[in-house]
Homo-oligomer: A and B are copies of this chain.
């Protein structure tokens, strides 16, 4: 237990908030998991909401870093589009339950929505939209494709499974089915769906 109390609180909050959300996680529980006092949350973060905000910023920073690697600006647009999907799945594999954290915030915004969520989503959405626009301009995606709609649908397919994780693994998919092929499946549907050549 050589980490600082602040770091232990962040780690515990990250875990508990992702698992159960803001409302169902109490300050006392975070403190217990962190092996700290509940008052330390107010001391270091100004309150429960401040701690939540800190965790959210931390996660988004990590996710954006991830996207910047998978969607590097010097790559051709189709590679960036593929990077979006593969990056999202890779991130989820490396950080299970964190995507649900973010998506829960999207589905049910807290007070962090305006200051944390909106700017970050705008950035990632812009990256994806621009990649699609470029791909259309290059003739790699069908002319007339609406980049906004196309981006929305690609993000839908890439995110929904993780969002409804609990029910998906119970009802929609076999629990033991591997998800390894899913990113390519999504990209296949996407490519053909807005591909350059009509069938």
Contacts and interface: CB of A to CB of B under 8 A. Distances in A.
Interface of A: 21, 23-24, 100, 103-104, 106-109, 113, 117-118, 121-122, 125, 146, 148-149, 151-153, 155-157, 159-161, 163-164, 166-168, 170-174, 182, 185-186, 188-190, 192-195, 197-199
A152 B174 CA distance: 12
Contact of A107 (B103, B122, B171, B189): B103
A104 B199 CA distance: 38
A167 B21 contact: no
A160 to B, nearest CB: 3
A172 B21 CA distance: 24
B185 A189 contact: no
A113 B156 contact: no
A146 B163 CA distance: 21
Given A108-B21, A166-B113, A192-B199, A152 B171 contact: no
A170 B118 contact: yes
Contacts of A104: 107-108
Given A189-B189, A192-B195, A167 B121 contact: yes
B164 A103 contact: yes
A20 to B, nearest CB: 8
Given A108-B104, A189-B193, A121 B172 contact: yes
Given A166-B113, A171-B121, A173-B152, A189 B194 contact: yes
A184 to B, nearest CB: 11
Contacts of A193: 188-190, 192-193
Contacts of A164: 103, 106-107
Given A106-B163, A163-B163, A168 B152 contact: yes
A163 B167 CA distance: 15
A114 to B, nearest CB: 9
B107 A172 contact: no
